[in-house]
C-alpha cells in the first residue's frame, strides 16, 4: 500500500492518505510530548514499540468482538487503518487514582476505585483538553446520547479485557485514554462506531503488579529515566519482543537495532 499525501501530523503520529479513500496509513513517530507540548523530546524506538504494542492490543480487542479502525501493520512504524470521523472527545478510564484526578480532587495517589471511573475531555490542545460532562457533549453536539451510550459500554468492555490482558503479565492497568470514530461499513451500508487512535504506554498508565514500577509515559513526564526500557518491558511481557535489544534513549535518528517476531 503506497503512502499518499500527508493528511495530518499530530504530536506522536502522522496520517497519510492512500489510493483508497476509506483507508489511511498511521505512522508512529519517536517524538514524546507532555504537559500540552511544554515538554518535548525524541525517544528513539518509541514509535516502533508503540506501533507493535498497539497492533497487539487492538488485534486482541478485535478478537473479543470490539470494532476497531485497525486493519494491519505494514512495517515497523506504520499501520493501515480505516478512515474515521473522530469524535472530538478523549475517553478516559481510571481504575486507580493518579495523575490529574489526584491533583484535581485531592484523591490520594494509588486509591483503588470501587468501579471504573469514566471521564470525558474535549480534544482541544489550545484549551489543554478540558474535562467536560456528558451534558457538554450533547449541548454542543460532539456526539449523540445514543453514541455515548454505545461508547460507554464499549469502553467498559475494553477496560475489562485490558485489565485481564495486563494482569496476566504482571501489570496493573491504572488508567488510559481512548478515542473513537465513525466509519462506513460497506456490508451493512451504515456508519459504525470504532475504536480509533492507539493503545500503548503513551496512552495508558501501566504499573508492575508487585513493585508498582511505572512502565509508561510517566517515566518521561516525571523524568524517571529509562523510558524506552519501560516500553520494551511491556512489549517483552506481551510476548511480542522476546529478544533482548539495545535500543537506547538518545536524541535523534540513529538506526534502531531491534528485532521482532515475524508475523
Residues that bind ligand UDP (CB under 6 A): 90, 92, 99-101, 129, 175-177, 203-205, 217
Return all residues near 203 (Cβ < 8 A) that are at least 6 apart: 176, 177, 178, 197, 217
Cell of 204: 495508558
We find the least distance from the C-beta atom of residue 100 to ligand UDP, in angstroms, to be 4
We find the least distance from the C-beta atom of residue 210 to ligand UDP, in angstroms, to be 20
We find the least distance from the C-beta atom of residue 225 to ligand UDP, in angstroms, to be 18
Which CB, 111 or 185, lies closer to ligand UDP? 111
Instruction: Could you list the beta-strand ranges (E) of the chain.
Output: 6-9, 13-17, 23-28, 31-34, 39-42, 70-73, 78-82, 85-86, 89-96, 112-122, 131-132, 171-185, 190-196, 204-208
Which CB, 159 or 203, lies closer to ligand UDP? 203
Cβ proximity of 55 and 73 under 8 Å: yes
Which CB, 87 or 176, lies closer to ligand UDP? 176
Distances (CA, A) of 195 to 97, 135, 182, 243: 24, 22, 9, 30
Cβ proximity of 93 and 178 under 8 Å: yes
Which CB, 176 or 180, lies closer to ligand UDP? 176
We find the least distance from the C-beta atom of residue 119 to ligand UDP, in angstroms, to be 7
Which CB, 105 or 253, lies closer to ligand UDP? 105
**For residue 240, what is the DSSP state?**
S
We find the least distance from the C-beta atom of residue 221 to ligand UDP, in angstroms, to be 6
We find the least distance from the C-beta atom of residue 88 to ligand UDP, in angstroms, to be 13
Place of cell 508503540: 50
**For residue 214, what is the DSSP state?**
B
* Residue nearest ligand UDP (C-beta atom): 99
Which CB, 22 or 125, lies closer to ligand UDP? 125
Which CB, 122 or 260, lies closer to ligand UDP? 122
We find the least distance from the C-beta atom of residue 183 to ligand UDP, in angstroms, to be 22
Cβ proximity of 231 and 49 under 8 Å: yes
HSE value, Cβ hemisphere, 13 Å, CA-based, for 116: 23
Amino acid at each position: 500500500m503506497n503512502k499518499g499525501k500527508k493528511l495530518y501530523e499530530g504530536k506522536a503520529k502522522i496520517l497519510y492518505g492512500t489510493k483508497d479513500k476509506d483507508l489511511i496509513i498511521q505512522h508512529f513517530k519517536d517524538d514524546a510530548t507532555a504537559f500540552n507540548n511544554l515538554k518535548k523530546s525524541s525517544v528513539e524506538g518509541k514509535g516502533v514499540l508503540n506501533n507493535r504494542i498497539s497492533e497487539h492490543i487492538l488485534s486482541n480487542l478485535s478478537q473479543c468482538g470490539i470494532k476497531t479502525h485497525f486493519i494491519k501493520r505494514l512495517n515497523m512504524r506504520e499501520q493501515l487503518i480505516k478512515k474515521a470521523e473522530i469524535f472530538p472527545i478523549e475517553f478516559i478510564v481510571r481504575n486507580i487514582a493518579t495523575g490529574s484526578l489526584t491533583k484535581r480532587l485531592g484523591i490520594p495517589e494509588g486509591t483503588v476505585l470501587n468501579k471504573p471511573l469514566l471521564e470525558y475531555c474535549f480534544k482541544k490542545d489550545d484549551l489543554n483538553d478540558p474535562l467536560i460532562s456528558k451534558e457538554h457533549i450533547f449541548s454542543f453536539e460532539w456526539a449523540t446520547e445514543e453514541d455515548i451510550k454505545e461508547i460507554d459500554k464499549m469502553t467498559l468492555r475494553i477496560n475489562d479485557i485490558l485489565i485481564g490482558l495486563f494482569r496476566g503479565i504482571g501489570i496493573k492497568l491504572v488508567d488510559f485514554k481512548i478515542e473513537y470514530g465513525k466509519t462506513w461499513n460497506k456490508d451493512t451500508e451504515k456508519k459504525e462506531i470504532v475504536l480509533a487512535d492507539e493503545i500503548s504506554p503513551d496512552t495508558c498508565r501501566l504499573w508492575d503488579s508487585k513493585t508498582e514500577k511505572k512502565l509508561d509515559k510517566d517515566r518521561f513526564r516525571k523524568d524517571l529515566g529509562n523510558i524506552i526500557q519501560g516500553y520494551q518491558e511491556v512489549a517483552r511481557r506481551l510476548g511480542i519482543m522476546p529478544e533482548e535489544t539495545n535500543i537506547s534513549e538518545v536524541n535523534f535518528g540513529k538506526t534502531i537495532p531491534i528485532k521482532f517476531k515475524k508475523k
